[in-house]
Amino acid sequence: MGKNVAQKLIDSHLVSGEAVQGKEVNIRIDQTITQDATGTMSYLQFEAMGVPKVKTELSVSYVDHNTLQYGGFENADDHRFLQTLASKYGIHFSRPGNGICHQVHLERFGKPGKTMLGSDSHTPTGGGIGMLAIGAGGLDVAVAMGGGPFSLVYPKVVLVNLKGKLKPWVSAKDIILELLRRMTVKGGVGKVIEYGGEGVKHLSVPERATITNMGAELGATTSVFPSDDVTKAFLAAQGREKDWKELSADPDAKYDEQIDLDLNKLEPMIAKPHMPDQVCKVSEIEGMKVDQVCVGSCTNSSFRDLMLVSETFKKGGFKVHPEVSMTISPGSKQVLDMMALNKGLAHLIEAGARILEATCGPCIGNGQSPPSGGVSLRTFNRNFIGRSGTKDGKVFLCSPETAVAAAIYGVITDPRKLGKFPKVKMPAEFLVDDSMVVPPAKDPSKVSIVRGPNIQALPKQGPLPDTLKGKVLIKLGDNITTDDITPAGTWLKYRSNVPKYSESVFAQIDARFHEKAKATGGGFVVGGENYGQGSSREHAALCPMYLGIKAIVAKSFARIHKDNLVNFGILPLTFANPADYDGISDGDELEMTGLKGGLNSDTLVIKNVTRDKEIKLKHGYSPRQVETILAGGTLNYTTAKSR
């Protein structure tokens, strides 16, 4: 039987396990990426494994999240640690200013047909160039750097069948927003989203990458496009034609689901606060006053996206509305460089846009927080409550076309009203200059790793006890994000300092949570559907572990977060009967006994001591995950196995 693109990629990298949907398989990882906010922890874990040099084909350590800290040494210390460590262990180091990891990797390193694991949830951006690119926790990435396989549940594959061609002022972002409208933020869990159909050939690689990037918001394992002539032309323009390889679905390939999307009929779309799936047509909310517009992030910061904004200002003779603060964050040094040379940058400056560094910036709450109660239109991928740094800020997610229309008129405006569309052609040649990527040392023995005081040791815990007992420390609703669990923004600088960062756990919901957890020696957390969606940050498991959290009982979990919890020995458990969620309240005393043998069965019982009631739970762990949990986490498990 023929295979689809996702199956070809997985099957060609299979190390062990059966290629049967729903079963756990192990795949070989060719490339890894890390970014600074998750990288320090990932490398501390890699060091703990005692492997002298990475065993991947390519590993790159990017600095793009925390670059311009105000009043403190923490970021700079992290950068120095990351650079020296990369040099010693055979890792390429992309210096701050070289760009956002996903954009740079697509331009300079991504290869069709390869697998990639990244300690950032938007790693699937690489799917735009025909890679099987998956986001994971830093510990999983560390294992992959050490040559270990990555375990995943063999996914369902959904075909998104694209028909026709996008109309002017409608772009790739509108495609993924429309899919989010139809599928919601949990619609992609356990699935790979594969794009096909005759509409694919009209989308450039950066446009495809916008779509695969934001597939993360669907909760999908990853998203992937075939590798075709468009991919070849992109790689050739990057001076990397030799990296091209054709990759397409067999004519008789089968899919588990199919979604048809007629690009001719698509209109500009926008996601309203505070979830990426709260999508409607831009025309439905036209006229709303806008305080801020931000263009950038790993979703929409390519040459095409920024030039589109620049050309719209220039061709129409427009300026940024006097009551709008507009920022531009280029995705890479390449984009910035090319726009400096072709005057695209000058037109943005002339129009009154504020130019930021080629980093994540406002997307992760680093600057440009909206004014109180203000409306911010962003070309980003997430609009979770508080992520922008302003709790009552209203963040909308849209395309660069919709963003520039709002920046010009000061109100939400359907970009189709802007007149003639300034089509941006893909350059025949990109400006290639990799001088901000530092290759690893030729003689690693001469490199010493520099550790400042912000680089704290990894917290540890022992094996799983037979009984878990404690109070419900917090009861939460559906779609709790990792930004709710361990916020970013001003807390980001403590990513290498778990004791300090643990003070942030649930701080936006209950500022005293960490004190409560410490005082009671830890306890349980109860959640609704899709617990832990969003970022890959393993801190959302590591910091609760540090505070003594024993298990999270929820209706369902997001994939990466569930894996992270297992990695750190916290039990992710689901209600066998979701209605039992109502049978537990904040402060209830819970108890689980006989865990050592009990995990061999998928059904467990938790006793609500306060209400004298037993509740059935499921775990759904693979045999490997059971052993990991029993050992108290992946590091304990792998160390025990290698003895």
CA atoms within 13 A on the CB side of 73: 8
Residue-wise DSSP of 419-462 = -S--PPPPPSS-----TTEEPPPSSGGG------TT-PPPP---
Among 83, 381, 399, 486, binds ligand SF4 (CB under 6 A): 381
- Count CB atoms within 10 A of the CB of residue 322: 7
Chosen from ligand SF4, ligand MIC, none, partner binding at 151 (C-beta under 5 to 8 Å by type): none
Q: Determine, following the binding rule CB under 6 A, whether residue 363 of this chain makes contact with ligand SF4.
A: yes
Residue of 601, 433, 624 whose CA lies nearest to 17: 624
Chosen from ligand MIC, ligand SF4, none, partner binding at 100 (C-beta under 5 to 8 Å by type): ligand SF4
Name, in order, each residue with C-beta under 8 angstroms of 204's C-beta and a sequence gap of 6 or more.
230, 234, 304, 426
| Helix residue ranges, H only, 126-192 | 138-145, 172-183
Listed ranges 54-62, 262-270, 358-366, 571-579: which one lies at the site for ligand SF4 (CB under 6 A): 358-366
Name, in order, each residue with C-beta under 8 angstroms of 383's C-beta and a sequence gap of 6 or more.
271, 273, 274, 275, 276, 395, 396, 397
Residue count, binding to ligand SF4 (CB under 6 A): 10
Chosen from ligand SF4, ligand MIC, none, partner binding at 297 (C-beta under 5 to 8 Å by type): ligand SF4
Angstrom distance (rounded) from CA 471 to CA 517: 9
Per DSSP, which regions of 24-89 are E strands?
24-27, 31-35, 58-62
Q: Determine, following the binding rule CB under 6 A, whether residue 58 of this chain makes contact with ligand SF4.
A: no
Shortest Cβ 34–ligand MIC spacing (Å): 10
In the bound state with ligand SF4, the residue whose beta carbon lies nearer, of 87 and 388, is: 388
Angstrom distance (rounded) from CA 556 to CA 222: 19
In the bound state with ligand MIC, the residue whose beta carbon lies nearer, of 387 and 394, is: 387
In the bound state with ligand SF4, the residue whose beta carbon lies nearer, of 530 and 638, is: 530
Q: At what angle are helices 205-213 and 229-237 packed, to 10 degrees?
A: 110
Shortest Cβ 469–ligand SF4 spacing (Å): 37
Among 83, 212, 221, 297, binds ligand SF4 (CB under 6 A): 297
Q: Determine, following the binding rule CB under 6 A, whether residue 539 of this chain makes contact with ligand SF4.
A: no
Shortest Cβ 267–ligand MIC spacing (Å): 27
Element (H, E) at 307: helix 303-316
Chosen from ligand MIC, ligand SF4, none, partner binding at 38 (C-beta under 5 to 8 Å by type): ligand MIC
Q: Before 274, cis peptide (omega within 30)?
A: yes
Angstrom distance (rounded) from CA 2 to CA 217: 29
Cα separations (Å) of 575 from 18, 23, 113, 583, 588? 28, 21, 39, 11, 16
Listed ranges 281-289, 356-364, 400-408, 440-448: which one lies at the site for ligand SF4 (CB under 6 A): 356-364
Chosen from ligand MIC, ligand SF4, none, partner binding at 471 (C-beta under 5 to 8 Å by type): none
Residue bearing tokens 């000058």 = 346
Contact 355, 349 (CB under 8 A): yes
Listed ranges 359-367, 431-439, 571-579, 628-636: which one lies at the site for ligand SF4 (CB under 6 A): 359-367
Shortest Cβ 50–ligand SF4 spacing (Å): 30
In the bound state with ligand SF4, the residue whose beta carbon lies nearer, of 278 and 610, is: 278
Q: Determine, following the binding rule CB under 6 A, whether residue 360 of this chain makes contact with ligand SF4.
A: yes
Chosen from ligand MIC, ligand SF4, none, partner binding at 537 (C-beta under 5 to 8 Å by type): ligand MIC
Name, in order, each residue with C-beta under 8 angstroms of 303's C-beta and a sequence gap of 6 or more.
206, 334, 335, 338, 339, 424, 427, 430
Binding mask 89-108 for ligand SF4 (x = CB under 6 A): -----------x--------
Shortest Cβ 302–ligand MIC spacing (Å): 17
Chosen from ligand MIC, ligand SF4, none, partner binding at 332 (C-beta under 5 to 8 Å by type): none
> What single-letter DSSP state applies at residue 23?
S
Chosen from ligand SF4, ligand MIC, none, partner binding at 310 (C-beta under 5 to 8 Å by type): none
Q: Determine, following the binding rule CB under 6 A, whether residue 122 of this chain makes contact with ligand SF4.
A: yes
In the bound state with ligand SF4, the residue whose beta carbon lies nearer, of 489 and 633, is: 489
Shortest Cβ 210–ligand SF4 spacing (Å): 12
Active-site residues: which are they? 64-65, 120, 382, 535, 537
Interacting residue ranges for ligand MIC, rule: CB under 6 A: 37-38, 65, 120-122, 364, 488, 534-537
- 24-27: strand order across its sheet: 14-16, 24-27, 150-153
Three-class secondary structure of residue 465 per DSSP: coil
Chosen from ligand MIC, ligand SF4, none, partner binding at 536 (C-beta under 5 to 8 Å by type): ligand MIC
Cβ burial, residue 450 (10 Å; 0-12/13-18/19+): middle
Shortest Cβ 41–ligand SF4 spacing (Å): 16
Shortest Cβ 569–ligand MIC spacing (Å): 20
509 backbone dihedrals φ, ψ, rounded to 5°: -100, -40
Contact 468, 519 (CB under 8 A): no
Q: Which residues pair with 27 in a beta bridge?
A: 14, 150
Rounded to a whole number of angstroms, the CA Rg of the chain reads 24
In the bound state with ligand SF4, the residue whose beta carbon lies nearer, of 297 and 390, is: 297
In the bound state with ligand MIC, the residue whose beta carbon lies nearer, of 366 and 608, is: 366
Listed ranges 18-26, 302-310, 360-368, 580-588: which one lies at the site for ligand SF4 (CB under 6 A): 360-368
Shortest Cβ 119–ligand MIC spacing (Å): 7
Contact positions vs ligand SF4 (CB under 6 A): 65, 100, 120, 122, 297-298, 360, 363-364, 381
